[in-house]
Amino acid sequence: MNGRNMGPGMEPRANVAPPGHDGDGEKSMKGESGDGYVLSLNERRLLAALATTGKADAATLGRTLGATADAVVQYANLLAQNGGLATVERVVERSYTLTEEGRRYAAEGLPERQILESFGERATMAELKGHPLASIGIGWLRRKGWVTIRDGIVEKTGDAPIGEDERVLTSPTLEEGAGLRELLKRGLAVERETVTYIVSITEAGAALAREGLDLREEVGQLTHEMLLTGSWRTTPLRRYRVDRLPRRLVPGKIHPYQRLLDEMRTILLNMGFVEMGGGLVQSGFWNFDALFQPQDHPAREMQDTFHLAGEADLPPRWELVRQMHEHGGETSSTGWGGTWQESKARQQVLRTHLTGLSIQYLAAHPTPPVKAFAIGRVFRREAIDPTHLPEFEQLEGIVMDERVTFSHLLGFLREFYRRLGFTQVRFRPGYFPYTEPSVEPEVFVEGLGWVELGGAGVFREEVTAPFGIGYPVLAWGLGASRLAMLRLGLKDLRQLYRTDIEWCRETPIFPGRGVR
């Protein structure tokens, strides 16, 4: 305990034992309100200052007490809340000043007035556009009805009275009203707000001050010497109230969603995986073709994919991918048939999944063992609703080794989910263009039942053969955002991306609600 003052309404209370306590319950300290509330030294000092002035602003009282104005407001609020010994009034004063542009127009006239005075009864638009203030003033000329424009001819209406905005602009003081509001909207004036707190003593506070206030400095910590000598009995010790909660402390925290992404990353690193990366922009070749996804697949159309301008270069061995698509290359596959278009493979897209990073990593590391993962953002043309967003996070993983099997894949997934807190996991058959066999893992969530969380499988030969990969590859792609929703107990995916400070503060560091 260090005796420092805490926040409004939660300040530790002084004087564990009152100074001059004689052991029989008689109180000699001055500073207790009628309801038994014990004042802190700062509150008593403020009350003493108010007893001589009646009321004053917080800044003035702060100079008297050697404290900041904010601290004075805190002490005053405590006096107001506990015993009604003082009142605090918040006074807001608004003032207005011209901007640099406004001051220039105050001296030279508003742009529309300057343009109006620059020509006779009529002029062509071409002539007016040569005026340095034309881009600002011509629109205001028409809005105020000072001119009419027909067939490129600007003609004065003959009526251009001084408006409220001009009157306020040139007046010594900026008076509130329609004219000032117009200047504020045009950015020619700015509003400044000054907040002052006036603290006043009440009759109850004045009565307590007349009884006398003990303003001696207090001690916030008992020492060994004080206990040995017994001097604590006569020392002004700070009192602490145990019937009040302390001020809420709000420590800095990582966003709950980011914490869960970091947790997933840590789990996979601890399982022996390495992290792979790649750009948000990928070629159609890596995002689709290298994964044996046909070029006429619906996912490649504009409604599912964000296409970008420009073309990407094709990597070595791209001809083998073309052959795989057209006729199966040198494998037992028959391919997709038709004609594979190089132009489609060169198109640039915002990546729709992270599996494209997996095949690139395998192409660069064709020798086993390989255990790699990626966590990153992907993009799809989705309508925004509580369960869909056009951009979200995925978790991608691959394992390549000589004798890994489909059973190993299920084991990896089951262990990953277990470490995340999902103890009930099951798998049901699925279909994906680039894996066979394929499964969709599901976890059981209390209150929701079985929830599907992604796709997994063993890469098909059509995916691995063009890059010289001769070993089985286990692969999975999971919805990291959906995992986070389940762990955080959310029903709206959009909550993960909102800067809701209170939600961030209230969310436990290790959430697990609803997970069994």
According to the model, what pLDDT value does residue 515 have?
38
Q: 287 and 227 share a domain? A: no
Of the three residues 187, 222, 241, the one that is the final residue of a domain is: 187
Of the three residues 196, 231, 249, the one that is the final residue of a domain is: 249
Of the three residues 155, 172, 187, the one that is the final residue of a domain is: 187
Point out which residues pair with 476 in neighbouring strands. Answer: 397, 456
86 falls within a domain: yes
45 falls within a domain: yes
What is the layout of strands, in order, in the sheet containing 55-57? 55-57, 189-201, 86-98
Say if residue 508 is preceded by a cis peptide, omega within 30 of 0: no
Backbone angles phi, psi at 515, to 5 degrees: -100, 130
CA atoms of 309 and 348, how far apart (whole Å): 7
Provide the sign of the torsion angle of the four alpha carbons 226, 227, 228, 234, taken in this order: positive
CA atoms of 198 and 175, how far apart (whole Å): 26
According to the model, what pLDDT value does residue 501 have?
86
514 falls within a domain: no
Q: How far is CA 259 from CA 40, 175, 459, in A?
A: 41, 53, 31
Under a CB-based contact definition with an 8 Å cutoff, are residues 451 and 487 in contact?
A: no
Q: 411 and 482 share a domain? A: yes
431 falls within a domain: yes
18 falls within a domain: yes
105 falls within a domain: yes
According to the model, what pLDDT value does residue 23 have?
34
Say if residue 19 is preceded by a cis peptide, omega within 30 of 0: no
Q: 203 and 143 share a domain? A: no
130, HSE (Cβ side, Cα atoms, 13 Å): 6
CATH number reported for the structural domain that contains residue 395 in this entry: 3.30.930.10
| Contacts for 173-177: CB closer than 8 Å, 24+ residues apart | 174/96, 174/97, 174/98, 176/96
pTM reported for the whole predicted model: 0.58
Q: 53 and 115 share a domain? A: no
CA atoms of 409 and 417, how far apart (whole Å): 12
Under a CB-based contact definition with an 8 Å cutoff, are residues 208 and 95 in contact?
A: no
Beta strands in 220-345 (DSSP E): 274-275, 281-283, 307-311
204 falls within a domain: yes
According to the model, what pLDDT value does residue 133 have?
92
According to the model, what pLDDT value does residue 34 have?
59
Q: 245 and 110 share a domain? A: no
Q: 419 and 342 share a domain? A: yes
Q: 368 and 464 share a domain? A: yes
Q: 83 and 108 share a domain? A: no
Burial (0-12, 13-18, 19+ Cβ within 10 Å), 501: exposed
According to the model, what pLDDT value does residue 253 have?
84
Q: 166 and 194 share a domain? A: no
515 falls within a domain: no
According to the model, what pLDDT value does residue 357 have?
95
SS3 (DSSP) at 350: strand
Count the domains in the chain: 3
Show the domain range for 336: 257-506
According to the model, what pLDDT value does residue 462 have?
92
Q: 292 and 431 share a domain? A: yes
CATH number reported for the structural domain that contains residue 21 in this entry: 1.10.10.10
Q: 199 and 270 share a domain? A: no
Q: 330 and 198 share a domain? A: no
Query: Per residue of the chain (516 residues), what is the pLDDT tens digit?
Result: 333 333 333 333 333 333 333 333 333 346 666 566 678 889 999 999 999 999 999 999 999 999 999 999 999 999 998 889 999 999 999 999 999 999 999 999 999 999 999 999 989 998 988 999 998 998 999 889 999 999 889 999 988 889 999 999 998 888 888 899 999 999 999 999 999 999 999 999 999 999 888 888 888 888 999 999 999 888 888 877 777 777 778 888 888 899 999 999 999 999 999 999 999 999 999 999 999 988 888 877 765 888 898 899 999 989 999 999 999 888 889 899 989 999 999 999 999 999 999 999 999 999 999 999 999 999 988 878 777 788 889 999 999 999 999 999 999 999 999 998 888 999 999 998 889 999 999 998 887 788 888 899 999 999 999 999 999 999 999 988 888 888 888 888 888 888 788 888 888 776 654 333
